[in-house]
Chains A and B, each alone.
Chain A
Amino acid sequence: MTQETLAPHAVERLKGLRSQGSHEGIFTSDLSVNEFVMIRKAEFEPLGLVVGSCIYHMGIQYGSWNQNMEMDVLSQAMYQARELAMSRMDQEAILLQADGVVGVRLEVKRMEWDPDILEFMAIGTAIAHRTGAEGFKGVGGKPFTSDLSGQDFWMLLQAGYRPMEMVMGSCVYHVAHQGILRSMGNIGRNTELEQFTQAMYDARELAMERMQREAADAQADGITGVQLHEGSHNWKPHVIEFFAVGTAVKAMNDADARIDALAPQLVLPVND
């Protein structure tokens, strides 16, 4: 590498005066360096960090001791609070005239002083197409949202898909306790605990159904990078949240041609 092979801008910067820094392209983001390069490789430019948050009081709901049931007050709260945080993040992206937001993270934090208050935060990087090409916006002409990393975003476009919306489904579920007689009856037997199996099934199913419904509303073809989180936000031991989240995607017109052009090469590292 010599001066000739380096970009003139890089040489000037390394020779070193701050005043020679560009005043174009000044943004903040939480992308990694690799993600930043890949976003640019995909012909997009980062515009800025967008954040939305919400401090939320969860209503109290008691589950029936010996009954499997959805805790709908808590489900609604988890959903609404996340939705508020996401919509505030979207507003920032709209102000930046972004095509979309990538690398979205949804975080939930418990407040130490009150177990019923949770903090929800949505954070991501707003991006726009370098040449202003159209056709990348999400549902209803709003910026798309996606929890894909910069690398995944590049790969998604190469595969002929574009992100539409980050979709999610949440279900807070109370798993019934076993009665004493039932527990006594199981002593010394290997047997399935059908009530517990059913609770896990039902809770997961409800979360997946809701996520899929959101994607259908967004007129997406599919959902990629889905993660299913199971968690308890300081609730009673038999109360659990199933939270499904992923990026709804839609095939672009030339998807088939693109995917044919992309032939990933298999490599086998010899030092791994």
Chain B
Amino acid sequence: MSLWSKFQKGIQDVAGDLEKVVSNAAAQVSAVAAVPDPKAQARAEEWNRALGERRLPFFVQERLRQTAAGHLPWIQSGPVAALLMERSHGIHPLGMVGGNCWYHFGYSWTQGHYDGWHQAIDRLRQEAVALGANAVVNVDMRVRRGQEEDMDYALLGTAVRVQDLPPSPEPAVATVSSLEFVRLLEDGVVPVGIAIGAEYDWYQPWVGTMLDQASMQAPFAAQYWNMEVADLSSFQENVRRRALYNLQQDGRRLGAAVLAHTQYAQLFRVADGQGQGERFLYRHIAIGTAISYQPAHVPHHELLPTYSLGRRLHPHRPHAKDLL
């Protein structure tokens, strides 16, 4: 960076700081001027206490209790077709339940994903328990990315009660729709929760990767060679195996198998610098639906093969824009 650009950047930084000071001061003045609403303040304090004590705030508990008792209307998030199926199969929607956790990554982005999702799932389950549910279906997983090293993990779903069953102390949490949930139950398969496996590690090849070593031995020829960078392959495989093992262990905790619908992996290279040599970071996260079933129980649904003449089953029909 040239001296002039450093100088210019310095002026910009000072201007930016001044702007922040002014806006902070304005915010403080307006905070003093505005009289806080005691109700809103009490509500905020109750949220604080409840999150700290790992429970639901009293006013949330009350609303859920009223909904469960039928004094407030039930809520269902799926399509009307799902409602029809639910009614005909003895599934009663109770209410929408959610859980979220805005999480700051201190030492590990990867571990943060594991902790953030688990915290959000626990909170979702708390609301489902308060409604007296047997399961939460149609659970939608979303994230909101923060400004810096932080992220919000959010879950939203419909808590349901199965006819004639007592409320569950640990309701099943299912990412499938209520239609699929019903079909799976009839086949003896219960989606019980969400399992997560995450792992990361660093690799620092002290004398360079195998490709670097080959380049040292044959400075001009190595770039023309086809070769596996075997040390990087095995480092990556090792981390991935641990992530998938963790996923299996998380499923085992729920006594369930895991259908891993989402897998995310990244390999970074951090260049030589600050006294540290070249390093590699690999992270792998797998998220899945945990399902409980007994292999001995064979699915009994009869299947009727059909061939649809509907448009949606013709994915290869070209669009004009691809042909002209």
Show the binding face of A for B, using Cβ within 8 Å. 1-3, 5-7, 9-11, 13-34, 36-37, 40-41, 43, 45-46, 48-49, 51, 53-61, 73, 76-77, 80-81, 84, 88, 111-114, 116-117, 119, 123, 130, 154-155, 158, 262-269, 272
CA distance A226 to B189 in the complex (A): 33
Residues from chain A with a CB closer than 8 A to the CB of B184 are 33, 37
Among B192, B224, B229, B305, the residue within 8 A (CB) of A265 is B305
Q: A119's closest neighbor in chain B, by CB?
A: B267
The reply to whether B187 and A7 contact each other, CB–CB distance below 8 Å, is yes
The reply to whether B305 and A17 contact each other, CB–CB distance below 8 Å, is no
B180 sits at the interface (CB 8 A): yes
The reply to whether B259 and A267 contact each other, CB–CB distance below 8 Å, is no
How many Å from the CB of A119 to the closest CB on chain B?
7
CA distance A48 to B258 in the complex (A): 9
Residues from chain B with a CB closer than 8 A to the CB of A269 are 308-310
How many Å from the CB of A96 to the closest CB on chain B?
13
The reply to whether A55 and B233 contact each other, CB–CB distance below 8 Å, is yes
Interface size class of chain B, counting residues whose CB lies under 8 Å from the partner chain: 35 or more
B126 sits at the interface (CB 8 A): no
Among B186, B226, B299, B306, the residue within 8 A (CB) of A267 is B306
Among A28, A119, A266, the residue within 8 A (CB) of B260 is A28
Given A1-B182, A59-B225, are A7 and B162 also a contact pair (CB < 8 Å)? Answer: no
B172 sits at the interface (CB 8 A): yes
Residues from chain A with a CB closer than 8 A to the CB of B183 are 37
B311 sits at the interface (CB 8 A): yes
CA distance A50 to B171 in the complex (A): 31
Give chain B interface residues in 281-319, CB to chain A under 8 Å. Answer: 286, 288-289, 291-299, 301, 303-312
The reply to whether A272 and B312 contact each other, CB–CB distance below 8 Å, is yes
B56 sits at the interface (CB 8 A): no
Would you list the 9 A-B pairs with minimal beta carbon distance, nearest first?
Answer: A21-B255, A7-B188, A16-B168, A272-B310, A1-B89, A269-B310, A113-B269, A77-B226, A264-B305
The reply to whether A262 and B229 contact each other, CB–CB distance below 8 Å, is no
The reply to whether A40 and B298 contact each other, CB–CB distance below 8 Å, is yes
The reply to whether B228 and A29 contact each other, CB–CB distance below 8 Å, is no
The reply to whether B186 and A1 contact each other, CB–CB distance below 8 Å, is yes
